[in-house]
Amino acid sequence: MDHKGYIQPYKRLVFALLFLIAPFTGNTQTLNLYDAVSRAVAYYPLLQQRQSEVSAGKAHVNTVNGNRLPSLTLQDQLNLGTDNSLQGAYFSLGIVPSTPGSYTSVNNNPNEGNVAISLLKWEFYTFGYYSAQQKQAKAQLAINEANLNSDKYSLTENIISLYLDWLKKYRLLHIQDENVQRAQVILTAIRATVLSGLKPGVDSSTASAAYSEARINYLEALDRYNYDQITLGAYTGININSIVPDTSIIAPAILQNTALVTQTDSIAPGHPLLEVYQKQYEQQLADNNTISKKYLPRFGFIGATWLRNSGISPSGAYPDNLAYGMPDSKYNYLFGLTLTYNLFDLKHRHDELVEGRYQADARASALQTRQTTLNSMVQQANSTYATTLEKLKEIPVQLTSAQQAYGQQMALYKAGLNTLIDVTNAQFVLLQAETTYVITQDELLQLLYIRAGLSGQLDNFLQNFKR
């Protein structure tokens, strides 16, 4: 057989390997978990939206505080018209112009006049309605702040989960790369024995198929890795082409540190995912209180002063020329105390309060349901963490045995003492052991952050990954 015929396939193998190891080379920087979360919190538009809503809530509190202020209206009019008044009462409805004056049998000539008015209104005692409005506005602000904290917590959880998944796929990509290299070693060894006549040619074809399958598996792993990397870049705004995950977080000092998160059996008080429901319940109570105060009587003060000039003389004579002016003026004032109470609003008050009480009951039930669900999640995470930790202690034994078995089977094959099937089986067992090890480490890290998050220790947990 012509040895030169195998030079070209070897060249293709070299170029293929250079392509496969590309994600592990180049000018890359390590992105640690703490920085990934910090960048996402600072960059993600949803949190900026929530922060603006908090600012709007604070501004609304200031707006409501101004409801206590009186209303002072100033107005000045310069008028031209006739003065033809009739006797009899009517409702002005806010659109009928005023035509004061004595009743005459003839239509009068046009005259001019002006009036300057100041009107003061102030409801100085409302039986707690103003205070209820302030509490209502502050309750809405508390919801906005709770939404911000909840979304920040959820985003932090998503980034941690995404980062750990990205790290897992990065390590699985390495495993697939190493598997490709093992397949190449097998293929090279088989071709050498085939050329020497020690092995049948079918082994070479089988090994070539196994090598191609290893490459396909690598490319699929690369696609999954790139997907997570692109998603992480969208959350953080980081250039994804220059970053790789920090593999130091899989150190046994972290994975097996049972004191990293203090174990609790229930959701932490004031947890962001629970606080939203609590604040919604409190806001409904504030709404109900505002409704109960809105329909109570209101004591007020009203006062007006006005100055009026007219072209008509005190004797009733109209000016011959409008340019004559307005020589006469009258000054008036009127002040009073008011009591406003609509008895028919009692029905509205009753109906709205019944509706509000049902709303409050619903939100109290939602709070209790959410608390029960989160408590169950805490207990499930604690249970799964304990078993996963024990499983992780056993896997290194499996991995070491698989590595030894692969090495032994490869040596036996080169010595002609076993078959290619024995080698490929050992290679597959080794690949599975390496994959299981990485996946179990990822599961343990995921459980660590879930337990930390539900027990209110997420910030302390992240500090362990700050570099």
At 451, list the tokens: 């337990």
Measured CA to CA in angstroms, residue 368 lies from 183, 265, 274, 364, 452 at distances of 56, 16, 9, 6, 22
Q: What is the pLDDT of residue 262?
A: 82
353 vs 17, more confident: 353
Place of tokens 């909840």: 150
84 vs 336, more confident: 336
Q: What is the pLDDT of residue 327?
A: 63
Examine the pLDDT at 92 and tell me if it is beyond 70: yes
25 vs 18: CA distance, rounded Å: 10
Which DSSP letter does residue 85 get?
A: B
Place of tokens 């009036």: 115
pLDDT per residue as tens digits for the range 206-225: 888 888 999 999 999 999 99
pLDDT per residue as tens digits for the range 227-269: 999 999 999 888 888 889 999 888 877 777 767 788 888 888 8
Lowest average pLDDT, out of 9-13, 88-92, 230-234, goes to 9-13
DSSP per residue, 38-84: HHHHHH-HHHHHHHHHHHHHHHHHHHHHGGGS-EEEEEEEEEEE---
What are the counts of helices (DSSP H) followed by strands (DSSP E) for the chain? 10, 6
Compute the average pLDDT of residues 83-108: 76
Counting residues of the chain whose pLDDT is more than 90, the rounded percentage is 49
Beta-bridged to residue 337, according to DSSP, are 301
3-state secondary structure 103-157: ECCCCCCCEEEEEEEEEEEEEEECCCHHHHHHHHHHHHHHHHHHHHHHHHHHHHH
Count Cβ atoms below 10 Å from residue 57 Cβ, excluding itself.
Answer: 20
Answer for the pair 410, 427: CB distance below 8 angstroms, yes or no: no
pTM, entire model:
0.79
At 148, list the tokens: 């911000």
Answer for the pair 125, 425: CB distance below 8 angstroms, yes or no: no
Place of tokens 């953080």: 236
294 vs 129: CA distance, rounded Å: 6
161 vs 182: CA distance, rounded Å: 31
Set out the domains of the chain in order of their start, with CATH numbers.
3-68+126-297+341-463 (1.20.1600.10), 69-82+109-125+298-340 (no CATH)
Q: What is the pLDDT of residue 316?
A: 72
Give me the phi and psi of 65, to 5 degrees please: -60, -25
CA dihedral 33, 445, 46, 31 (to 10 degrees): 20
pLDDT per residue as tens digits for the range 371-405: 999 999 999 999 998 899 888 888 889 999 999 99
80 vs 304, more confident: 304
Count Cβ atoms below 10 Å from residue 323 Cβ, excluding itself.
Answer: 8
